[in-house]
Structures are given as C-alpha cells and as structure tokens.
Amino acid sequence: MRIAVTTPNGNVGSHLTRMLVRAGARPLLLTRHPDRIADELRPYVDIATADSQDAAAVVAATRGVDALYWVDPSVMSDDPLADYDRATDALVRAVEANGIRRVVFQSSVGAEKRHGAGEIDGLAATELALDALDIDVTHLRCGYFFSNLLLDQEALEAGRLQTVLPLEARMPWVAPRDIAEVAALTLLNRDWTGRRVRAVHGPADLSWSEVGEILTHELGREVLVERITDDDMRQGLLSAGMPPAMADAVLGMSTGLRDDFTPEQQRSVATTTPTTLRSWAREELLGVL
C-alpha cells in the first residue's frame, strides 16, 4: 500500500513519518521544502515537492497513492479560510484524478459545529468535501495540541499564559505524537471502510488553571495563567504581525467553542491517548525554555 503524508515536518507529520518507516512502510512525503527532510530519513522515504494549495502539484505528486494523510496547512494569511478552500480543492482533485481510495484527515474538535469556530470552519469544509466523495475516510478530531504552548514561547519563558477561555473550564489536550500514532494505526489498518470520525482527546481534559499548575511544577518556576478579553487577545495577535482576518480566525477557534458547545464525540477508551502534559513538558519544554 502506497501511503502519502502531507506536512511531514509538522508537529504530527514528523512523528507519523518515522512511525510508518518503523512499521516497514516507505511513505511518500509531500512538502514545499524537500531540503528540510532529515538526511537520516531519505533512504527510507520518497519525496515530492508540492504545495497543498496547488491542485496541479498535488495531483501530480499523488499518482499511484493508495492512502493519504492530509493536513490543511495553516499559514499566515490575509484570508485563511480561502486558503483552506484552495487546499480542499487540491485534495479533492487529487483523490478523484488518481483514484485514491483512503484518506485520513487531521481535523479538530469543533469541526462538527460546521460554522462559527474561526479557523476550524476550514477543517469542517474539508470534512464535508471528503464526505461527498465515494471513498473511505477517517476524520481525526483532535484536542488542543500541547505544542500550541510554544506558539508564544517568549510569554511562556516569562511565566505568563493568556487565554479568553474560562480558567476552570476543561477541554481535551493532546500530544502531537499521540495523534501521529492514531494516524499511523488508521492508515495501516485495512479493515475499516466508509466514513468514520475518531476523536483524539489526550489522557485527560484539563483547565487552563491546571495547565499553569502542571507547568509550574515541571519547569520549576511559576507559570501564571490570565484570562483576558476577546479584544485584548485580538489586539495582541495584531501586534504580533497577524493580518486582521487571520487574527479573527485564530480567536474564533476559542470563542466559537466557548459557549454552548457540546462535542459530538465524548471521551472514551477509544479516544483517550497516553502522553500526559507532565511528561511532554519534561521532554519538550525543558529543552527549549
């Protein structure tokens, strides 16, 4: 089975690539930057240059592919949802042109809402487009990535985290490596068919207050979490150089799921993954902060 992986240098893709190699597969890596693929991986993978928003390039790169791991790339943009639309169009064209029978899509908790969740709306649109095709598809609705804590590394180093969410409200937090493991098992398992949704919830739902306590303990210095207004968060994103539409889309991922949202997939043994925030912080944060 020929398996292609998009964003192979991403938080999930980098783990997924190595897992597939260890399983004996030779994945095809689709990337805009082939020079960034690690030298040690090159004997075990094939590499194709393709921008996920370039339909012609994606079609050309995926000829002969049986299964595809697809990530809608989030890039700094003046119109992020239009970027998602272009990526979705490239995906659909590749599936149809090359007869790709199986897709595992990296989606998010909140995509089931379909509208009103900022950037997650782009993932929802991709889900709907894939559901309209006559293929086997699994949507991985992932929780909040531990690695998102590094998006504002300077603030984390200063012991300060900010959120627009209630500090005591719990939500699923998950390690990218665990998402990669679920993705690898799903890609390699030939027994499932049709449309499936699999949530990837991490080991436990956490509040932002609990996250601050865990990081304080593991980093050995105080990490304070502050709830700020929506406008303050938006102004902070703009001050960091984010275009207005991008700032709105990023903010919307929190505000759109803040009130009266009930996830379609509840936590179960099938959605719970093992890596804790404590262990991730010891392995990933201590080395970079």
Say what the pLDDT of residue 74 is: 78
What is the C-alpha separation between 117 and 141, in angstroms, rounded? 14
Spans in the chain with pLDDT lower than 70:
none
Say what the pLDDT of residue 260 is: 84
What are the distances in angstroms from CA 108 to CA 10, 104, 173? 16, 13, 11
pTM: 0.96
Say what the pLDDT of residue 70 is: 98
Measuring CA to CA, which residue among 149, 96, 118 is closest to residue 278?
A: 149
Say what the pLDDT of residue 57 is: 98
Read off the pLDDT of residues 61-100 as tens digits, 9 standing for 90 and up.
999 999 999 999 877 889 999 999 999 999 999 999 999 9
- What residue has token string 């959120």? 163
Q: How many C-beta neighbours within 10 Å does residue 38 have?
A: 12
* 121 close to 85: Cβ distance less than 8 angstroms: no
Distance in angstroms between the alpha carbons of the first and the last residue of the chain: 41
- What residue has token string 């042109």? 97
Read off the pLDDT of residues 192-222 as tens digits, 9 standing for 90 and up.
999 999 999 999 999 999 999 999 999 999 9
Q: How many C-beta neighbours within 10 Å does residue 151 have?
A: 11
What are the distances in angstroms from CA 239 to CA 125, 135, 242, 247? 29, 43, 7, 10
